[in-house]
Amino acid sequence: MNHFSIALPLLLTALAPFHLPAADAAKPKDEMARMQMVLLSRPTDAKSAQPDAATLAAQRKATENLLQSGKLLFAGDCTGNGALREVLILRGAETNDARELAAALPAVKIGAWTAESLLWFGASNYFRPVTTPARTSEYFFGLLVRGTNAAKLPPDEVTKIQEGHMANIRRLADLGKLATAGPFVNGGDRRGIFIFKTTSLAEAQQLTDTDPAVIAGRLRVELHPMQVPAGILR
């Protein structure tokens, strides 16, 4: 992807820490939509059930089936040591659909993983159908959360930080390092996501460290190595 564009309604501007620039008229128009993002995580309770190899295999198969059926636009396995294990993006914005889908997943059914659905706003045409989900590519998933200085910054400084934040998003997209991004509508302290196409976690961290909102402490980014089906992201 060599461009990055989202035009948010005023409502989302108030709810999210960033919005994305208007589309270049010479490039295909982005198909903006509200979608459900499901975050699958290990519970913090150490006594919770742990998925065995059979459960994990069933989980992978269930995800592949959902991708091939078209119910999922995106699925990514988080391979790091953090609690986050998988990220799913559903076609459509119905919370009940996301909850029902997540509850039926093998790792969720046995209580090994918890599922949380969040309303997310992004370009749905950045995701491509996949026919062989078993082939994967490495990306890095960045969860943007409210920073420690977010409440302390004066409005005029926030405006300048936001401008710099947006300029940095455009720069990273033009470099081909940022595959997609977008804000949560109802994420609370979780403000949005980045998905980086980089060669290493260290490179992804360096890219987040250039963000003026991160430098100012308005945002921080939790990075997770992620395996995604090859070709699913434009």
Residue-wise pLDDT tens digits, 43-77: 987 566 789 999 999 999 999 999 999 999 999 99
Q: What is the DSSP string of 109-165?
A: HTTSSEEEEEEEEEEGGGB---S-TTSEEEEEEEEEEE-TTTTTS-HHHHHHHHHHH
Contact 40, 85 (CB under 8 A): yes
How is residue 56 written in tokens?
A: 């994990």
User: Is residue 29 classed as helix, strand or coil in its secondary structure?
Assistant: coil
**Side chain identity, residue 101:** L
Q: What distance in Å separates the CA atoms of residue 211 and residue 219, rounded to the nearest whole number?
A: 9
How is residue 178 written in tokens?
A: 């940022």
Q: What distance in Å separates the CA atoms of residue 90 and residue 72, rounded to the nearest whole number?
A: 5
Segments making up each domain of the chain, as ranges:
10-229
Q: How does the average pLDDT of the chain come out, rounded?
A: 88
pLDDT at 197 over 70: yes
pLDDT at 25 over 50: no
pLDDT at 16 over 60: no
Q: Decide if domain 10-229 falls under CATH 3.30.70.1060.
A: yes
pLDDT at 17 over 60: no
